Chain A
Amino acid sequence: MVYLDNAATTFPKPQMVTKAILNSIIRQGANPGRSGHKMSIETAMQVYNCRDTISNFFGAHGPEDVIFTLNCTMAINMVIKGLLKPDDHVIISCLEHNAVVRPLNALKKFGITYTVAQVYPCNNDATLDSFRKAINDKTSLIICTHASNVWGIRLPIARITALAHEYNIPVLVDAAQSAGHLPIDMKELKIDYLCAAGHKGLYGPMGTGILITNKGKNLTTIIEGGTGTNSQSYMQPEMSPEKFESGTPNVPGIIGLNAGINFIKKTKIERISTHEYNIINYLYNKLSCMDNIILYMPKPDPKHFVPLLSFNIKGMSSEKVAAYLDKNNIYVRAGLHCAPLAHQFANTIDSGAVRICPSFFTKLSDIDLLLLSIKKLTSNS
Chain B
Amino acid sequence: MDKPLILVESITYAIKGRDILNRNGFRATIQKIIKNKELKGCGYAIYVKERADEAADFLNKSGIKVVSRTDWGH
Contacts and interface: CB of A to CB of B under 8 A. Distances in A.
A237 B10 contact: yes
Interface residues of A, number: 22
A36 B12 contact: no
Interface in B3-49: 9-13, 15-16, 30, 32, 35, 37, 41-44
B12 A241 contact: yes
A232 B42 CA distance: 10
B70 to A, nearest CB: 16
Given A237-B9, A239-B10, A229 B16 contact: no
A225 to B, nearest CB: 15
Interface residues of B, number: 15
A51 interface: yes
A64 B43 CA distance: 17
A381 interface: no
B40 to A, nearest CB: 8
Given A33-B44, A36-B43, A230-B43, A64 B13 contact: yes
A231 B43 contact: yes
Contacts of B11: 32-33, 44, 48, 228-229, 242
A62 interface: yes
B12 to A, nearest CB: 5
A166 B54 CA distance: 41
Contacts of A32: 11
B16 A63 contact: yes
Interface string A227-256: 111111000010101100000000000000
A230 B16 contact: no
A64 B32 contact: no
A241 B10 CA distance: 9
A207 B30 CA distance: 29
Contact of B44 (A36, A63, A232): A36
5 contacts: A36-B44, A45-B30, A48-B15, A64-B12, A232-B37
Interface of A: 32-33, 36-37, 41, 44-45, 48, 51, 62-64, 227-232, 237, 239, 241-242
